[in-house]
Amino acid sequence: GAGVSQSPSNKVTEKGKDVELRCDPISGHTALYWYRQSLGQGLEFLIYFQGNSAPDKSGLPSDRFSAERTGGSVSTLTIQRTQQEDSAVYLCASSLGTGGAGGNQPQHFGDGTRLSIL
């Protein structure tokens, strides 16, 4: 079956421009996550959506970052007025569920969008 799909795979843009990154999760997965990964580093949590609950935005680094998830499926991460320090790989993951008494289900990752700000 189809995995998590992210687009574009690469994005190069000028400082100050806005960018939109898209994530198509696995069908039926209620939880969706966005992470940022700088070269050779670990994952930095940005935001997650769980069903119809309010998203956990605690990882967003500034108000230039926002994300939405429409119809409980596709998600878009938007970065406004991009800065050079926004350059990184942005990873999306989905899972059957998150948190709760039973713990977290394994996450399934897309291959990311490599964002370069000139």
Partner 1 sequence: SQQGEEDPQALSIQEGENATMNCSYKTSINNLQWYRQNSGRGLVHLILIRSNEREKHSGRLRVTLDTSKKSSSLLITASRAADTASYFCATDRRFQKLVFGTGTRLLVSP
- Residue ranges that bind partner 1, judged by CB under 8 A: 4, 33, 35, 40-43, 45, 48, 56, 91, 93, 98-104, 106-112
> Taking Cα atoms as reference points, which of 51, 8, 54, 3 lies closest to residue 27?
3
User: Shortest distance, CB of residue 63 to partner 1, whole angstroms?
Assistant: 22
Sign of CA dihedral 20, 17, 45, 60: negative
User: Shortest distance, CB of residue 100 to partner 1, whole angstroms?
Assistant: 6
User: Shortest distance, CB of residue 99 to partner 1, whole angstroms?
Assistant: 5
Tracing tokens 């039926």 back to the chain, one arrives at 28
- Residue 47: how many other CB atoms lie within 10 Å: 21
For residues 16 and 61, which CB has a smaller minimum distance to partner 1 in the complex?
61
For residues 56 and 74, which CB has a smaller minimum distance to partner 1 in the complex?
56
Q: Which two tokens stand for residue 22?
A: 């898209």
For residues 82 and 94, which CB has a smaller minimum distance to partner 1 in the complex?
94
**What is the rounded distance in angstroms from the CA atom of residue 114 to the CA atom of residue 8?**
8
